[in-house]
Structure 1
């Protein structure tokens, strides 16, 4: 079986270009993540090679969400083809219940962003008493 290679022009496949003509938003670079527990902390690791963590990565905590935002900048040189996606990227993940921004740490090393936060604290269910109000007497 013979396959025909995708045709590229200036580093963009014609399929991607055709999709953009039909109104689709160009694909943004995606962030691959893994999440796991290490001791009493939840760890989120994101593969972000080729970015400058001082200029191109923002980690924010807002309303129970962890937002990883950044940009992979294209290098300027003649390309025959590329499989690397450049441009802005964003990934939003839910935080463990009760996570405060000051409890979250982020570190970038060897192309990997590691974000660490405490695990959710589990509390026993609490029963809330229901009060009964008598209707006013007329």
Structure 2
């Protein structure tokens, strides 16, 4: 039996899902979902971006201590029907940890997951710095 002939499940409150689909005044509509870890002097961000061409549709940039992941997907089918795919621009910005070396960031894309690795220099612990104060006359 064709899946297009199967009825779609109905929501408990028809139209309620539409409330969560539209643009929100706070945050991004097409948010990139991520997970991040800090291990062995590396900050690793993994972003869920299935179905993107990493060479043409995904961009990773840094500026002022922030890491931005952006991707764009255009709708190509003109057929009428039901789609739950997300199209348009997807963006996520995270703050890099202190000591992050933005000049050595590496990124790889495997099976729909973008993994970004940022080397982090460990802060010198226990080193104190004396700040000179002067008296204004």
Q: Distance in 1 between matches of 2:36 and 2:95?
A: 11
* Structure number, greater radius of gyration: 1
TM-score by length of 2: 0.73
Partner secondary structure for residue 29 of structure 1: coil
Q: Would the alpha carbon gap of residues 39 and 131 (structure 1) be closer, same or farther in structure 2, given more than 3 Å must change?
A: closer
Greater shift, 89-98 or 118-127, is seen at 118-127
Count of residue correspondences: 124
Partner secondary structure for residue 99 of structure 1: coil
Q: Distance in 2 between matches of 1:75 and 1:66?
A: 29
Q: Would the alpha carbon gap of residues 105 and 127 (structure 1) be closer, same or farther in structure 2, given more than 3 Å must change?
A: same
Q: Distance in 2 between matches of 1:108 and 1:19?
A: 29
The alpha-carbon deviation at position 110 of structure 1 amounts to 1.1
Contact 2:41 2:121 in 1 (8 A): no
Contact 2:99 2:123 in 1 (8 A): no
Q: Distance in 2 between matches of 1:50 and 1:69?
A: 14
Q: Would the alpha carbon gap of residues 37 and 98 (structure 1) be closer, same or farther in structure 2, given more than 3 Å must change?
A: closer
RMSD: 3.0
Partner residue in 1 for 2:100: 99
Contact 1:108 1:114 in 2 (8 A): yes
Q: Distance in 1 between matches of 2:43 and 2:63?
A: 17
Partner residue in 2 for 1:130: 132
Contact 2:41 2:122 in 1 (8 A): no
Greater shift, 72-81 or 47-56, is seen at 72-81
Contact 1:28 1:85 in 2 (8 A): no
Runs of 4+ deviating beyond 4 Å = none
Partner residue in 2 for 1:10: none
The alpha-carbon deviation at position 101 of structure 1 amounts to 2.4
TM-score by length of 1: 0.72
